[in-house]
């Protein structure tokens, strides 16, 4: 009987000891958890306070978070087969060479509409080129409609045009001759950026006019015909187109199908051969001699 009582007492004592041990362990873990959470919270608060005083750090965190979210979004879009979302580039609009023609002054809007209809190109990119021609023409002391006339005859407003001798872009500048002028725009590939090509072309035109002493002879220099007997009607076409555009800018009505081709002298044409000056707007008047001249 005494042995049974002793065994029962031992079990009860062991149970109480285990209970005390479990409570102590639980209290310790709870205390440790509280302290850990307190440390984490304190670290978060400290990091928040530190980041609040560092705009650059906040920006970096935002960029990382946005990139992570964007990557997740694109991965989900690819899995779902939505390629448009996966390859979208919202900032692409910033590269577009286009403006709303309705935002232009009256004379610029009239010129934009006429060029768009005559050369069958969208009015929005033409509006941007007209706007730029007016701006840089004013700075360079050149009639903006002259600049537009050169683009019309040289490239028919094709920014990716290239002649047989390597003249490139809207104003058909010989890129390899004027690489230095494209350095301000990041390099020679800017020849295919419409606005950069326009600006470089105007600079080349100014140099040609200054070198030749007159607009007429400057245009001959520009096309590379300064040392040739004929410019194949180039100057006549540019000046005719200039006259049309100037009239449109001044409020005149000019048919969009009017020809700017100047007839060549009769004696210069062989029997049965077309006149050398008969060319459509934008035809390539370039000759190999252009390589050696200022153009």
Sign of the Cα pseudo-torsion (260, 261, 262, 263, in order): negative
Q: Is residue 76 in some structural domain?
A: yes
Half-sphere exposure of 98 (CA within 13 A, CB side): 12
Q: Which residue shows structure tokens 């007209």?
A: 130
Q: Is residue 94 in some structural domain?
A: no
Domain count for the chain: 2
> Are residue 110 and residue 252 in the same domain, yes or no?
yes
More confident residue, 30 or 220: 220
> Are residue 24 and residue 160 in the same domain, yes or no?
no
Which of 145, 132, 143, 263 lies closest to 200 in space, CA to CA? 132
> Are residue 148 and residue 118 in the same domain, yes or no?
yes
Assign 12 a pLDDT band (cuts: 50, 70, 90).
Answer: low
Report the alpha-carbon distance of residue 53 to residue 46 in Å, rounded: 11
Q: Is residue 72 in some structural domain?
A: yes
> Are residue 270 and residue 141 in the same domain, yes or no?
yes
> Are residue 81 and residue 120 in the same domain, yes or no?
no
> Are residue 128 and residue 255 in the same domain, yes or no?
yes
| Position 73 pLDDT exceeds 80 | no
Which of 53-57, 77-81, 137-141: highest mean pLDDT? 137-141
Which of 99, 234, 105, 215 lies closest to 163 in space, CA to CA? 234
- If DSSP codes are grouped into helix, strand and coil, which group holds residue 167? strand
Least confident of 62-76, 191-205, 247-261: 62-76
CATH number at residue 228: 1.10.530
* Beta-strand relationship, 173-174 and 167-168: antiparallel
| Position 80 pLDDT exceeds 80 | no
Neighbours of 74 (CB within 10 A): 15
Q: Is residue 171 in some structural domain?
A: yes
Q: Is residue 95 in some structural domain?
A: no
The pLDDT mean for the chain works out to: 80
Which of the listed residues 86, 113, 146 is the one where a domain comes to its end?
86
Burial class (CB in 10 A: 0-12, 13-18, 19+), 197: buried
Which of the listed residues 51, 86, 121 is the one where a domain comes to its end?
86
Assign 274 a pLDDT band (cuts: 50, 70, 90).
Answer: very low
User: Span 204-225, mean pLDDT?
Assistant: 95
> Are residue 70 and residue 125 in the same domain, yes or no?
no
Sign of the Cα pseudo-torsion (273, 275, 276, 278, in order): negative
Q: Is residue 15 in some structural domain?
A: yes
Q: What's the domain range around 13?
A: 2-86
> Are residue 70 and residue 137 in the same domain, yes or no?
no
Which of 30-44, 165-179, 255-269: highest mean pLDDT? 165-179
> Are residue 82 and residue 110 in the same domain, yes or no?
no
Whether residue 125 contacts residue 135, with contact meaning beta carbons closer than 8 Å, is answered with no
Q: Is residue 93 in some structural domain?
A: no
> Are residue 59 and residue 122 in the same domain, yes or no?
no
Whether residue 260 contacts residue 237, with contact meaning beta carbons closer than 8 Å, is answered with yes
User: Span 70-90, mean pLDDT?
Assistant: 64
Sign of the Cα pseudo-torsion (188, 190, 192, 195, in order): negative
Question: In this predicted structure, what is the pLDDT of residue 53?
Answer: 62
> Are residue 270 and residue 129 in the same domain, yes or no?
yes
Question: In this predicted structure, what is the pLDDT of residue 256?
Answer: 96
DSSP state of 121: -
> Are residue 80 and residue 106 in the same domain, yes or no?
no
User: Span 50-54, mean pLDDT?
Assistant: 60
Which of the listed residues 25, 53, 86 is the one where a domain comes to its end?
86
Q: Is residue 92 in some structural domain?
A: no
């Amino acid at each position: 009987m005494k042995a049974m009582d002793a065994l029962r007492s031992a079990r009860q004592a062991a149970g109480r000891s285990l209970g005390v041990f479990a409570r102590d362990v639980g209290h310790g873990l709870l205390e440790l958890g509280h302290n850990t959470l307190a440390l984490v919270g304190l670290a978060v608060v400290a990091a928040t306070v530190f980041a609040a005083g560092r705009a650059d750090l906040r920006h970096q965190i935002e960029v990382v978070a946005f990139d992570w979210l964007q990557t997740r979004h694109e991965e989900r879009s690819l899995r779902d087969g939505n390629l448009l979302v996966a390859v979208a580039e919202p900032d692409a609009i910033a590269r577009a060479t286009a403006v709303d023609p309705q935002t232009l002054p009256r004379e610029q809007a009239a010129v934009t509409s006429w060029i768009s209809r005559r050369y069958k190109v969208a009015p929005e990119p033409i509006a941007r080129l007209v706007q730029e021609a007016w701006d840089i023409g004013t700075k360079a002391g050149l009639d903006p409609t002259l600049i537009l006339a050169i683009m019309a005859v040289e490239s028919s407003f094709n920014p990716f045009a290239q002649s047989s001798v390597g003249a490139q872009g809207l104003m058909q500048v010989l890129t390899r001759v004027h690489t230095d002028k494209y350095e301000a725009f990041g390099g020679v590939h800017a020849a295919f950026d419409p606005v950069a090509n326009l600006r470089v072309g105007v600079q080349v035109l100014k140099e040609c006019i200054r070198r030749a002493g007159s607009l007429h002879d400057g245009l001959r220099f520009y096309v590379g015909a300064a040392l040739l007997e004929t410019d194949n009607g180039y100057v006549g076409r540019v000046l005719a187109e200039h006259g049309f555009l100037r009239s449109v800018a001044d409020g005149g009505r000019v048919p969009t199908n009017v020809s700017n081709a100047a007839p060549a002298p009769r004696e210069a044409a062989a029997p049965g051969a077309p006149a050398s000056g008969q060319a459509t707007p934008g035809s390539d008047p370039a000759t190999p001699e252009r390589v050696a001249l200022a153009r």
